[in-house]
Amino acid sequence: MDHFHYRDRDLYCEDLPAAELADRFGTPLYVYSASAFVDRLAELHSAFAALDPLVCYSVKANSNLGLLKLMAGHGSGFDVVSGGELYRVRKAGGAPSKTVFAGVGKTDEEIREALRAGVMLFNVESEAELEAIDAVARAEGVKAPIALRVNPDVDPKTHRYISTGKKESKFGMDVDRALLAAESVLGMRGLAMTGLHMHIGSQITSTEPYAHASARAAELVDRLRGMGHEITWCNMGGGFGIDYRGGESRPIAEFAEVMVPVLRETGCRLAMEPGRSIAGNAGVLLSRVIFTKQSGDKRFVIQDAAMNDLIRPALYEGFHRIWPVRVPEGSPSWPDDFEAPIPGTEPRDVVGPVCESGDFLAKDRALPPTARGDLLAVFSAGAYGMVMASNYNTRPRAAEVLVQGSEATLVRRRETYDDLLGPELDVPS
Ligand SMILES: *Cc1c(COP(=O)(O)O)cnc(C)c1O
């Protein structure tokens, strides 16, 4: 909440009133704080400084070109999971040599593009993928730098949809398979194994899974080196949790505290792939109330941001704090606990205009009285927000604005109806 804060009763992003942004750019509107991105990157660099870290910002959390440019300008590397994301990174001026490429289903075409671009590491998720990368690399006359993605079999105790490091996950390989695969890599001329990769899940709010994963990583680096692989990178993925409700996350320094001493023993450089922990609390979604309505005992606030703009509540029961952009007298300007009774509020369902019962941003949420035209802020919307937006119900996607100090830059204009119909009209008739 440092970069988004209330002055008196008005929400600000850095030095700009949110209401002014909504008036100028319309709603629904994603608003990002540049300082929040940059400060978080610096915090990661300093917490893990002993491991000469390379932060590879996870592009899938928020892939806006303006943000990628900002991050590249501050020395960030990138974690991509598709050819499209790699294309974005390059358009934004990001360095492929600081970019790692993950994903369970890389196509030959994507592998070729990434090889030609010169990515730093392929994070390899299966034996079949090893063979595919080897074949493409040999055809290109190069050696592909790879890391095996290993499942340390830890339960990160997060939502089941975002847990990835367990044995039965579709991602990566278990330790025994990885060791066998590492043997076979020795005979593949198109591959050079220079790293080890783990990514155990997302929104992880305790340090224990990282302590466990780091210990497994250190053991494995030893064994891989014993086979003759020159391992120089330990890539521990992303997954650090953030505060959605308030108070549930751990400071980055606490994760570093359990990881650094173990990983330092390996002599590897640390690569990491944080997405949510950089972008999540660096963005809010602003919406405007269209109608209020009562059905039986239930009160609804129908506002112009819908599940197509932010699907986390519908998809994985994601909780987002929601509070008025201008707080009325009689309500606290920023409640400590959004789930406890709050003076001057009543429970309301915050819903959008999409024709689905799953179209809600919050249910039974304590909110001050709102009226048609009022603005609401949906917090912690910087990660897995706009990137998952769709055009369902033929709704143009929201605009995105990047704020730095008292300057606001439009980094994605609002879509028009013609943008939506373009690909359907652009066909032989
Ligand atoms: C999604 C993903 C990340 C980022 O996860 P966060 O929880 O947003 O930090 C990092 N690495 C890989 C391989 C991913 O798939």
pLDDT tens figures, 171-201: 889 999 999 999 999 999 999 999 999 999 9
Other residues' Cβ atoms within 10 Å of the Cβ of residue 421: 12
* pLDDT of res. 171: 83
What pLDDT, on a 0 to 100 scale, did the predictor assign at position 358?
93
| pLDDT of 154 | 82
Strands 99-101 and 77-80: parallel
Residue that has been written with the tokens 């340390």 in this structure: 152
CA distance 47 to 209: 18
- Specify the pLDDT at position 353: 97
pLDDT at 361: 98
Query: Which domains occur in the chain, in start order?
Result: 4-31+280-424 (2.40.37.10), 34-276 (3.20.20.10)
Instruction: Classify the C-alpha dihedral 96-407-242-46 as positive or negative.
Output: positive
- Whether the CB of 207 sits within 6 Å of ligand 1: no
Ranges of residues in the chain with a pLDDT under 50 are none
Distance 395 CA to ligand 1 centre (A): 28
Q: Is the CB of 370 inside a 6 Å radius of any atom of ligand 1?
A: no
pLDDT for 153 equals 84
pLDDT tens digits, residue range 393-416? 999 999 999 999 999 999 999 999
Q: What is the pLDDT of residue 170?
A: 79
CA 340–ligand 1 middle distance (angstroms): 31
Pocket test for ligand 1, best of 37, 40, 55, 58 (most atoms within 8 A of CB): 58
Verify whether ligand 1 is closer than 6 Å to residue 80 (CB atom): no
Active site residues: 355
Question: What pLDDT score does 137 carry?
Answer: 98
Residues 6+ apart with CB under 8 A from 92: 65, 68, 69, 72
- d(CA 182, ligand 1 centre) in Å: 24
